[in-house]
């Protein structure tokens, strides 16, 4: 080393010891410094950092590191003078950390260091691994290459990582100052794209040029498919731009060339055209579905426009904006306009035309954004005939009940007061009737205890538990038919109303096994319309006279006293070796006594004839308001009910320790409810409602309800004031109707549990808010195209749902039982590791008719996927076959064939 033209003897002796240290040390690791703030590199590079006690004038080397030298003392102290030497221009601006398993060779004259066998070098954000690495300090170069073992196999192929970019090559040359380099036979990955080039030139951290490049989304060394080009520029995680390019499959080139290629490989969102799929329909003609453009407007907002175009002149337009502000709110809107033109089956005209629309909006606010308040929207407005023409969803035509909701809530004074503002909408697509309930404002004050002290001392007095609350509501509503929708008609049919409820409760101490709760409730309702009725003897019908508009009041007072308790029964005699330890039955009876005086005489008409036979009854003058008037007559009676549940205690299957057991619910609840009004002049006993709910084996859900009418009826089916068990014979009453539903699901354990957990996490992280109907539409699309969403990680699955309902309707002097029952089945299973078959079935059990059947077959082709969907039964029958890459960046590169029959 130069030092003003002279060489220090102490420095020379240190250099000799350093060279000797390199020759006898295997598996060495050192740091090579060449900057102004460090001591001379020839000294520091030979000294392990942990043994340096001082780097000013003295260096201590532990004898354990020099056990091959003829020294007998515990340590060797080398005195090194401080050298003030000028540094050459080839100095680096950061340290280099290097290591090798075999040896490290230092060539002082050429300033080269060569590492052999599992060599590693770190410089700034660059991490290089190879069998052989040479550091040329004079030229600031890193050179890496591989070696071959005795069998000729390649070992120690160079691998370089810089930031998030990884490269693997046969050889690498990298300039540590300019950050440029040249590699041979290089393989790298950028996002979902795998790129290989015979020769690649790195000109910056993210920019590369490649000669004779190949890129693909298949991660095999010999990919199933790829695109070949002689010239390519790659901007890491942004884009790949090529010259003339052609595809190849299984290494066989396809003679289809395009003059240039642009492949977006950026992570996240980016604008671009949306490629369509080709469709053939006997009713719509030839079509292109999903043609459109996606535009990213900002980091928080984007919009997609798509169109479905058919040769018979029909088209559908989709406008879908989405927005998201992390930790604050997110939302999605979808507007669809249909201009339908399809073949007319009746023969009256060549085509049938229709124009419909659908507007959907979903909005969610993060609960942490504004603690104490929340806003959500779930809006769905559509034309009554919209679902008839949804070609991509064969089950949409069966969805005739549409609903929407918008809600805002806020709490005040640490939760003491709560304000809610809601708007709701529902419509029947069969009748076209639309009901809108907006606004609906509610204010609630939690129960306050006026006689309770701020700080309790001892047991509180009974009167200190007297509580008073407040519930107030203001609502507006309108109803109209879809064909008569207009702003003036909406205002004409708009109604409003309000109600207030002041409950007064007293929580008395438990009296033995009884819990006694008295209460008083005052209710007030404000109404906006009053109706009058009269019998039209000429036309023999009941007429509604002109409506009176104004402000009307209705009041009610109720007093109550409720008693409740719980009764337990157990059975434990199952034997010592039985897995069942015991069964417990819990019974919870409730009885409530209540009294309400008759304050509603002015709310009802006198008895008016309403049938040709002369039957008479009084009618509620406020029946058409949002809040109706209170029930006619005084009420003094009791409400009763009994709820039961049955549990079983068994020995634990997973925990074999003494005393370990599990609780299994056999029946979650079953019982009945009813009431008896002893002040009523007739029909004192109400219908009795029975229910049952259970989850057997934690997997089979069962629910059932029915109601019992305890009265006899006349020849017209009208109840008469006579119990069913009076007179000839004995009967508990007439079952009015009921329903039962059973559902369950079975599936195998995941083949790879970690993959299943990661998939679930990705779904949760990327979930955007959707309206209920959007969720139903998406589920319907999945059911219609299940092969696109198969999970080979689940070997098999089966879902079963059965529903049965019945009603007893009076028809021609007798009651007729009308029933409906349906069975829904869907499942799939792996034929092999790569083949999966499945089905979705909707079966009408009553009429023995299959309403809809969809089957699918899917093939996992590693980087591609084959899906075949067939709907042989349904309003829309279709066939679809698609072969497409799995990668998101190549999702539009697919082969699709679809046929739809109406």
Per-residue pLDDT of 593-641, as tens digits, reads: 988 888 877 888 777 787 777 777 888 888 878 888 887 777 888 899 9
Per-residue pLDDT, averaged over 382-404, amounts to: 79
pLDDT exceeds 60 at position 24: no
854, 840 contact by CB (below 8 A): yes
Say whether 323 sits in a helix, a strand or coil.
strand
Token pair belonging to 132: 């052989």
Q: Which bin fits 810, alpha (ψ -120 to 50), beta or left (φ > 0)?
A: beta
The CA-CA-CA angle for residues 850, 852, 853, to 5°, reads 95
Strand ranges for 349-432 from DSSP E: 351-365, 373-382, 401-412, 417-428
Q: Which bin fits 543, alpha (ψ -120 to 50), beta or left (φ > 0)?
A: beta
pLDDT exceeds 50 at position 68: no
Q: Which long-range contacts (CB under 8 A, 24 or more apart) does 246-251 make?
A: 249/224, 249/225, 250/224, 250/225, 251/222
Return the HEC string of 789-853. HCCCCECEEEEEEEEEEEEEEEECCEEEEEEEEEEEEEEEEECCCCEEEEEEEEEECCCCEEEEE
pLDDT exceeds 80 at position 704: yes
Query: What is the C-alpha to C-alpha distance for residues 656 and 641, in angstroms, rounded to an integer?
Result: 41
pLDDT band at 174 (very low <50, low <70, confident <90, very high): confident
Structural element, H or E, at residue 755:
helix 753-765
Kindly report the average pLDDT of the chain as a whole number.
80
The pLDDT assigned to 19 comes to 44
Q: Which of 648, 670, 810, 674 is nearest to 734 (CA)?
A: 810
Q: Which of 620, 625, 616, 628 is nearest to 602 (CA)?
A: 620
The pLDDT assigned to 773 comes to 52
Say whether 332 sits in a helix, a strand or coil.
strand
848, 820 contact by CB (below 8 A): no
504, 468 contact by CB (below 8 A): yes
**Four-CA torsion 116, 118, 121, 126, nearest 10 degrees:** 140
Name which residue leads in pLDDT, 295 or 167. 295
The rounded percent of the chain whose pLDDT value lies above 70 is: 84
Residue 640 main-chain phi, psi, to 5 deg: -135, 160
DSSP state at residue 386: G
Query: What is the C-alpha to C-alpha distance for residues 853 and 703, in angstroms, rounded to an integer?
Result: 26
User: For the chain, how many helices (H) and strands (E)?
Assistant: 5, 56
pLDDT exceeds 90 at position 690: yes
Token pair belonging to 845: 């059990």
Angstrom distances, CA of residue 492 to CA of 483, 486, 832: 16, 10, 65
Per-residue pLDDT, averaged over 409-424, amounts to: 88
pLDDT band at 786 (very low <50, low <70, confident <90, very high): low
Query: What is the C-alpha to C-alpha distance for residues 51 and 37, in angstroms, rounded to an integer?
Result: 19
Give 570-612 as a DSSP string: EE--S-TT-SEEEEEEEEEEEEEEEEE----GGGBPPPEE-ST
Lowest mean pLDDT among 296-305, 741-750, 759-768: 759-768
pLDDT exceeds 80 at position 729: no
162, 126 contact by CB (below 8 A): yes
Q: Which of 650, 741, 730, 658 is nearest to 694 (CA)?
A: 741
The pLDDT assigned to 63 comes to 33
The CA-CA-CA angle for residues 403, 404, 410, to 5°, reads 140
pLDDT band at 518 (very low <50, low <70, confident <90, very high): confident
pLDDT exceeds 50 at position 3: no
Token pair belonging to 561: 């006293």
| 470-516 pLDDT tens trace | 999 999 988 888 777 778 888 888 889 999 999 888 877 777 788 88
pLDDT exceeds 60 at position 742: yes
pLDDT exceeds 50 at position 789: yes
- Residues 6 or more apart from 345 whose CB is under 8 A from it? none
Q: Which residues pair with 881 in a beta bridge?
A: 868, 897
Name which residue leads in pLDDT, 894 or 325. 325
**277-281 and 895-901 as β-strands: parallel, antiparallel, unpaired?**
parallel
637, 609 contact by CB (below 8 A): no
709, 736 contact by CB (below 8 A): yes
pLDDT exceeds 80 at position 756: no
Name which residue leads in pLDDT, 415 or 750. 750
The pLDDT assigned to 36 comes to 34
Please name the residue that has the structure tokens 């004995």.
Answer: 730
| 80-105 pLDDT tens trace | 455 555 555 556 667 888 889 888 88
pLDDT exceeds 50 at position 72: no
End-to-end CA distance of the chain: 90
Q: Which of 398, 430, 422 is nearest to 776 (CA)?
A: 398
Residue 331 main-chain phi, psi, to 5 deg: -165, 170
Query: What is the C-alpha to C-alpha distance for residues 91 and 85, in angstroms, rounded to an integer?
Result: 13
Q: Which of 267, 166, 261 is nearest to 213 (CA)?
A: 261
The rounded percent of the chain whose pLDDT value lies above 90 is: 20
The pLDDT assigned to 96 comes to 80
Structural element, H or E, at residue 23:
helix 9-24
The pLDDT assigned to 757 comes to 63
pLDDT exceeds 70 at position 17: no
Per-residue pLDDT, averaged over 894-901, amounts to: 78
C-alpha radius of gyration, the chain, whole number: 41
The pLDDT assigned to 76 comes to 42
The pLDDT assigned to 669 comes to 92
The pLDDT assigned to 395 comes to 67
Query: What is the C-alpha to C-alpha distance for residues 120 and 168, in angstroms, rounded to an integer?
Result: 14
380, 398 contact by CB (below 8 A): no
The CA-CA-CA angle for residues 411, 412, 418, to 5°, reads 45
The pLDDT assigned to 755 comes to 67
pLDDT exceeds 70 at position 34: no
The pLDDT assigned to 787 comes to 52
The pLDDT assigned to 285 comes to 87
Query: What is the C-alpha to C-alpha distance for residues 778 and 651, in angstroms, rounded to an integer?
Result: 43
Please name the residue that has the structure tokens 């079966």.
Answer: 843
Please name the residue that has the structure tokens 């207009």.
Answer: 486
The distance of Cα 454 from the centroid of its chain, to the nearest Å, equals 45
- Residues 6 or more apart from 729 whose CB is under 8 A from it? none
Give 182-233 as a DSSP string: EEEEEEEEETTEEEEEEEEEE-SSSEEEEEEEEEES--SSS-SEEEEEEEEE
Angstrom distances, CA of residue 71 to CA of 23, 76, 80, 719: 17, 8, 19, 117
pLDDT exceeds 80 at position 803: yes
The distance of Cα 338 from the centroid of its chain, to the nearest Å, equals 28
The pLDDT assigned to 273 comes to 85
What's the pTM value of the predicted model, to 2 decimals? 0.61
pLDDT exceeds 60 at position 44: no
Query: What is the C-alpha to C-alpha distance for residues 474 and 460, in angstroms, rounded to an integer?
Result: 37
pLDDT exceeds 90 at position 800: yes
Per-residue pLDDT, averaged over 562-578, amounts to: 86
Lowest mean pLDDT among 211-220, 364-373, 421-430, 777-786: 777-786
Token pair belonging to 138: 């004079």
Q: Which of 848, 689, 879 is nearest to 282 (CA)?
A: 879
pLDDT exceeds 50 at position 66: no
Token pair belonging to 239: 């884009």
The pLDDT assigned to 514 comes to 83
């Amino acid at each position: 080393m130069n030092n003003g033209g002279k060489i220090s003897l102490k420095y020379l002796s240190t250099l000799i010891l350093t060279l000797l240290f390199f020759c006898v040390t295997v598996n060495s690791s050192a740091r090579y410094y060449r900057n102004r703030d460090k001591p001379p590199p020839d000294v520091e590079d030979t000294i392990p950092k942990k043994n340096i006690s001082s780097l000013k004038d003295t260096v201590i080397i532990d004898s354990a590191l020099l056990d091959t030298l003829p020294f007998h003392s515990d340590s060797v102290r080398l005195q090194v003078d401080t050298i003030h030497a000028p540094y050459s221009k080839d100095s680096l601006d950061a340290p280099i950390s290097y290591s090798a398993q075999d040896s490290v060779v230092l060539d002082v004259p050429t300033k080269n260091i060569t590492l052999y066998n599992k060599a590693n070098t770190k410089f700034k954000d660059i991490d290089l691994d190879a069998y052989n690495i040479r550091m040329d300090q004079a030229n600031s170069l890193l050179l890496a290459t591989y070696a071959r073992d005795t069998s000729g196999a390649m070992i120690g192929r160079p691998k370089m990582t810089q930031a998030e970019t990884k490269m693997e090559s046969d050889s690498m040359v990298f300039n540590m100052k300019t950050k440029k380099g040249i590699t041979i036979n290089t393989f790298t990955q950028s996002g979902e794209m795998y790129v290989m080039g015979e020769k690649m030139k790195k000109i910056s951290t993210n920019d590369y040029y490649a000669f004779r490049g190949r890129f693909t989304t298949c991660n095999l060394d010999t990919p199933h498919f790829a695109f070949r080009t002689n010239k390519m520029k790659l901007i890491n995680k942004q884009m790949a731009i090529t010259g003339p390019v052609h595809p190849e499959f299984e290494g066989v080139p396809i003679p289809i060339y395009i003059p240039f290629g642009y492949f977006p490989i950026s992570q996240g969102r980016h604008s671009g055209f949306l490629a369509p799929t080709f469709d053939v329909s006997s009713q719509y003609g030839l079509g292109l579905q999903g043609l459109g453009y996606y535009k990213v407007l900002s980091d928080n907002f984007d919009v997609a426009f798509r169109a479905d175009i058919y040769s018979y002149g029909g088209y559908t337009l989709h406008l879908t904006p989405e927005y998201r502000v992390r930790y604050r709110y997110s939302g999605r809107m979808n507007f669809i306009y249909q201009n339908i033109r399809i073949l007319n089956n009746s023969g009256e005209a060549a085509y049938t035309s229709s124009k419909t629309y659908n507007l959907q909006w979903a909005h969610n606010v993060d609960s942490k954004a504004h603690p104490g308040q929340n806003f959500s929207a779930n809006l769905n407005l559509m034309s009554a005939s919209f679902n008839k023409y949804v070609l991509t969803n064969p089950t949409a035509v069966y969805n005739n009940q549409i609903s929407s909701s918008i809600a805002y809530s806020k709490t005040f004074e640490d939760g003491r007061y709560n304000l809610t503002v809601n708007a709701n909408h529902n419509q029947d697509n069969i009748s076209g009737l639309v009901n809108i309930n907006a606004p609906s404002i509610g204010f609630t004050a939690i129960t306050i205890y006026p006689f309770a002290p701020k700080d309790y001392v001892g047991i509180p007095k009974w009167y200190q538990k007297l509580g008073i609350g407040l519930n107030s509501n203001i609502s507006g509503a309108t109803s109209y038919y879809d064909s008569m929708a207009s702003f003036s008609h909406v205002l004409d049919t708009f109604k409003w109303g309000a109600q207030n409820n002041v409950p007064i409760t007293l929580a008395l101490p438990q009296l033995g096994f009884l819990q006694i709760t008295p209460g008083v409730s005052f209710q007030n309702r404000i109404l906006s319309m009053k109706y009058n009725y009269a019998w039209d003897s000429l036309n023999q019908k009941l007429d509604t006279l002109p409506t009176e508009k104004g402000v009307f009041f209705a009041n009610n007072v109720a007093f109550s006293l409720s008693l409740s308790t719980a009764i337990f029964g157990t059975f434990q005699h199952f034997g010592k070796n039985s897995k069942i330890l015991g069964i417990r039955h819990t019974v919870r009876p409730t009885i409530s006594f209540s009294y309400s005086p008759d304050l509603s005489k002015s709310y009802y008409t006198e008895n008016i004839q309403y049938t040709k036979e002369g039957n008479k009854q009084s009618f509620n003058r406020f029946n058409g308001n949002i809040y109706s008037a209170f029930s006619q007559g005084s009420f003094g009676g009791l409400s009763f009910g009994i709820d039961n549940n049955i549990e079983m205690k068994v020995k634990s299957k997973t925990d074999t320790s003494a005393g370990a057991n599990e609780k299994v619910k056999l029946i979650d609840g079953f019982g009945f409810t009813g009431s008896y009004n002893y002040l009523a002049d007739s029909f004192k006993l109400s219908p009795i409602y029975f229910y049952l709910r259970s989850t057997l084996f934690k997997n089979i859900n069962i629910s059932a309800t029915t109601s019992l009418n305890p009265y006899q009826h006349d020849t017209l089916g009208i109840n008469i004031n006579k119990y069913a068990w009076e007179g000839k014979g004995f009967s508990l009453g007439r079952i009015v109707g009921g329903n039962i539903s059973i559902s369950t699901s079975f599936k195998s354990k995941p083949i790879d549990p970690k993959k299943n957990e990661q998939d679930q996490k990705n779904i949760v992280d990327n979930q955007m808010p959707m309206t209920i109907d959007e969720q139903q539409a998406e589920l319907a699309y999945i059911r219609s195209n299940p092969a696109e969403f198969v999970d080979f990680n689940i070997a098999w699955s089966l879902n079963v749902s059965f529903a049965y309902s019945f009603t007893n309707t009076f028809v021609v002097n007798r009651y007729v039982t009308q029933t409906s029952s349906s069975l829904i089945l869907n499942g799939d299973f792996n034929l092999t590791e790569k083949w999966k078959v499945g089905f979705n079935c909707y079966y009408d059990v009553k009429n023995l008719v299959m309403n809809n059947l969809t089957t699918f077959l899917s093939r996992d082709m590693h980087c591609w996927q084959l899906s075949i969907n067939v709907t042989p039964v349904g309003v829309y029958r279709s066939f679809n076959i698609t072969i497409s890459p799995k990668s998101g960046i190549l999702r539009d590169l697919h082969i699709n064939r679809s046929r739809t029959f109406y």
